[in-house]
Amino acid sequence: MSASDFSRLTNRVPWVAAFFLALVVALAGCSSTTRGSASQASATPSGTKSEPVPTQAALDAAMLTLADMPTGYTKDTSSESSAASSSASPPPSTDNKQCSQTFGNGSSNTLDTRKAAVKADVQFAGSDLGSEIFEATGVFTATQTARNYIGAFSSAVAKCTTTWTETDKDGKSTYTLAPLSFPKSGDTTVAIQEKIKSESALGLSVVLDLVAVQTKNALVITAQSGIAAVDPTTLTSLVPTAVSRVDKAVASA
C-alpha cells in the first residue's frame, strides 16, 4: 500500500472528532421536528439562572495533557488544518444523506460553529498510523442547554445506527455506526463506535470510538481512532479523568 493510500484513509479521522462538539450543538436544531424550533433548542431556557462558567485559561488547564496519554503519543496540532481542508471539499455522493451530513464526510460543521460560552479542544497522535486521541469540551450557561444537546445527539445516534456509503474524489468508503457500551460518567453518557472502510486503501478500516458526556452545564467529548481496532481500556481511563477536571473547573468558577 502506498503512503497516499494510507493518507486517504487516515485523513478522514481527525476532523471527525474535531467537529463533534459542534455537531452536538447543531443537532439541537436538526431535531426541531420533535423539540420545537432550532432557536428554542439552542437558547438558554427562559427563567433559568446563569450557571458558573470557567475562564478560557481555566478550561484550557482542565483539558487532558500528554502526561495522561498512553506511551508513544505526542501533542498533535494538525486538527484545525484537517478540519478546514475537509470542510472546503465538496460533499460526497451518498445513499444516506442524513447520516452522511451528521456522522460522515458530508458534514459541514466546524469548531467555529460551537455555541458554548467557553470551549477548548486538544488532540494527540499515537505512534501507530491513524492513532489519535481527541478531547473537545464546551461549557454552557445553563445545565438544561447541555441536556438538550446530549439528548439530540442520542436521538441522532439512534437514527443512524446503520451502514451507508459515500463516494468522493478519493473513492468509495463505507461507514458503519453503532452504540458503544461504556461506563457512565457525569449525568448522561452517550458512546458510539464508527467504522470507516475505504476501498481506495485496500479495504482497511479506521475505527473511531467516541464518548460524549453531559456533566452539569458542560459537554465533554473524548474520542480515539485507530486502524482496524482501538484499545477499549484507553477511553475507559481517560473519560473519567477528563470529566472530573472539567467538573472542578466549573465548580471553581
Number of domains in the chain: 1
CA geometry: angle 102, 53, 143, nearest 5 deg:
55
- Which CATH number fits the domain that encloses residue 111? 3.40.1000.70
pLDDT in tens, 183-212: 999 999 999 998 888 776 666 788 889 999
Answer whether 0.85 is exceeded by the pTM: no
User: Per-residue confidence at 112, pLDDT binned at 50, 70, 90?
Assistant: very low
Per-residue pLDDT at 202? 66
Per-residue pLDDT at 74? 93
Per-residue pLDDT at 200? 67
- Average pLDDT value for residue range 215-243: 92
**Is pLDDT larger for residue 129 or for residue 137?**
137
- How far is residue 46 CA from its own chain's centroid? 28
User: Which of 7-11, 74-78, 100-104 is least confident?
Assistant: 7-11
**Is pLDDT larger for residue 116 or for residue 247?**
247
Sign of CA dihedral 37, 42, 46, 47: positive
**Is pLDDT larger for residue 18 or for residue 104?**
104
How far apart (Å, rounded) are the C-alpha atoms in residues 17 and 84? Answer: 13
User: Per-residue confidence at 60, pLDDT binned at 50, 70, 90?
Assistant: very high
Among 7-16, 45-54, 170-179, the range of highest mean pLDDT: 170-179
Among 21-35, 90-104, 165-179, the range of highest mean pLDDT: 165-179
Of 148, 111, 146, 141, give the one whose Cα is nearest residue 253. Answer: 141
Q: Where are the alpha helices (DSSP H) in 109-218?
A: 143-159
Q: What is the dihedral of CA 84, 214, 159, 167, to 10 degrees?
A: 20
| Residue listed under C-alpha cell 433559568 | 48
- The answer on pLDDT for 61 being more than 50 is yes
Per-residue pLDDT at 38? 33
Q: With residue 10 as reference, give the H or E element that holds it.
A: helix 3-10
Per-residue pLDDT at 30? 44
Q: Which domain holds residue 185?
A: 3-251
For residue 248, what is its C-alpha cell?
Answer: 472542578
User: 3-class DSSP state for residue 202?
Assistant: coil
How far apart (Å, rounded) are the C-alpha atoms in residues 241 and 62? Answer: 10
- Average pLDDT value for residue range 18-43: 43
